[in-house]
Homo-oligomer: A and B are copies of this chain.
Amino acid sequence: MNGFSLDELVARLGGQVLGDGSTRVTQIATLEAATAAQISFLTNSKYRAQLASSRAGALILSAADADATQQPRIISDNPYAYFAKVSALLNPLPVAPVGIHPAAIVAASAQIDATASIAATAVIAAGAVIGAHSVIGEGCVIGENVVIGSHARLYPRVVVYHHCVLGARLIAHSGVVIGADGFGFAVEGDHWLKIPQIGRVVIGDDVEIGANTTIDRGALADTVIEDDVKLDNQIQIAHNVRIGAHTAIAGCVGIAGSAVIGKYCRIGGSAGILGHLQIADHVEIASFSLIGKSIREAGSYAAIYPFAKAEDWRKNAVHLRHLDSLVDRLKALEKQVELLKGETPCK
């Protein structure tokens, strides 16, 4: 039968059913969009009022909201995680065909696990190792001696340069480039001299990498992405960076060479971190903020210029070029006022 009953969901995922446990759901949806055959969820009691108007056939709620509706419902102590699990059950990934597509090009010395899937036009170089149940999409190019763990999924057109090591359950989206040369040059006379980039990229388990993100190989030592790091699209990670476990980074962020990011950090979109800095664990960095010094203390940091109507922005921004002299004028005034106050007034 299609979908799952609430009883079946609870049997697999835990939680507690209130109301009719035989209610079947075939898809998950938002409170506004859900229909009678669908299950929805409430992750914040603030929006509890929306339950009344939802046509969802069932709900995932926290204990605090358990009585806010009489619809069939599953009570979970983490409704958002529960929603993710229900969605994964209802929306399994398409199964990739096991084996090597005849239009893939695989070197004789590559070791492809018998349960792996290698798509058409993928190219696997000599000495590469592809783990059990891993999927290498169309047009991927896996360099010499690359090692990819089990259950990894490389979407079409991922490139991994030679000798990089990727962990289990990696998800790499299309256009990702892992292990290209870092940006390293010496000056000799009037021109640049390339510094060979002889380190690798080493990626832990359970990492996800968004479309067109690039992670450069190390100059001498390795670039390291620890377990459970989540990288959004179009991120640039330079050579010899280390990113601590469980850190999540939003799109378009740039991290310069040899920066070391702690564990459990969250970095907003288009932010930047300069080279050779150290960022402590549990640091949050706002979107668009450039971090120019090491951060030793957990907490939230920001550097955003507040936007305004262009004419107001223009009027205000011009003073930023004179802020120092404005402060000097303020100081001079303070001195003068102090002097004036010292003079005996007429009574």
Contact = CB atoms under 8 A, between A and B. Distances in A.
Interface of A: 27-30, 33, 78, 80-81, 83-85, 87-88, 91, 94, 103, 105, 119-121, 123, 137-139, 141, 144, 155-157, 159, 161-162, 171, 173-175, 177, 180-181, 183, 185-188, 190-196, 198, 206, 208, 210-212, 214, 216, 220-221, 228, 230, 232-234, 236, 238, 246, 248, 250-252, 254, 256, 269-270, 272, 274, 284-293, 299-324, 326-327, 329-330, 333-334, 336-337, 340-341, 343-347
9 contacts: A155-B161, A173-B177, A174-B177, A177-B211, A177-B212, A194-B208, A256-B269, A290-B305, A301-B308
B162 A94 contact: yes
Contacts of A346: 343-346
A344 B324 CA distance: 32
A310 B333 CA distance: 28
A234 B173 CA distance: 15
A177 to B, nearest CB: 4
B91 A196 contact: yes
B157 A157 contact: yes
Contact of A272 (B246, B270, B320, B326): B270
A305 B320 contact: yes
Number of chain copies forming the complex: 3
A216 B233 contact: yes
Nearest to A297: B309
A291 B180 CA distance: 29
A301 B321 CA distance: 13
A84 B186 CA distance: 7
A193 B79 CA distance: 12
Given A183-B232, A196-B87, A313 B308 contact: no
Contact of A210 (B83, B180, B230, B293): B180
A308 B302 contact: yes
Given A139-B121, A198-B87, A304 B299 contact: no
Contact of A307 (B155, B290, B312): B290
Given A81-B186, A337-B336, A221 B300 contact: no
A76 B185 CA distance: 17
Given A191-B228, A306-B318, 10 more contacts: A28-B198, A137-B141, A139-B139, A191-B206, A211-B216, A286-B313, A292-B307, A303-B306, A319-B327, A344-B347
A4 to B, nearest CB: 15
Contacts of A230: 183, 185, 192
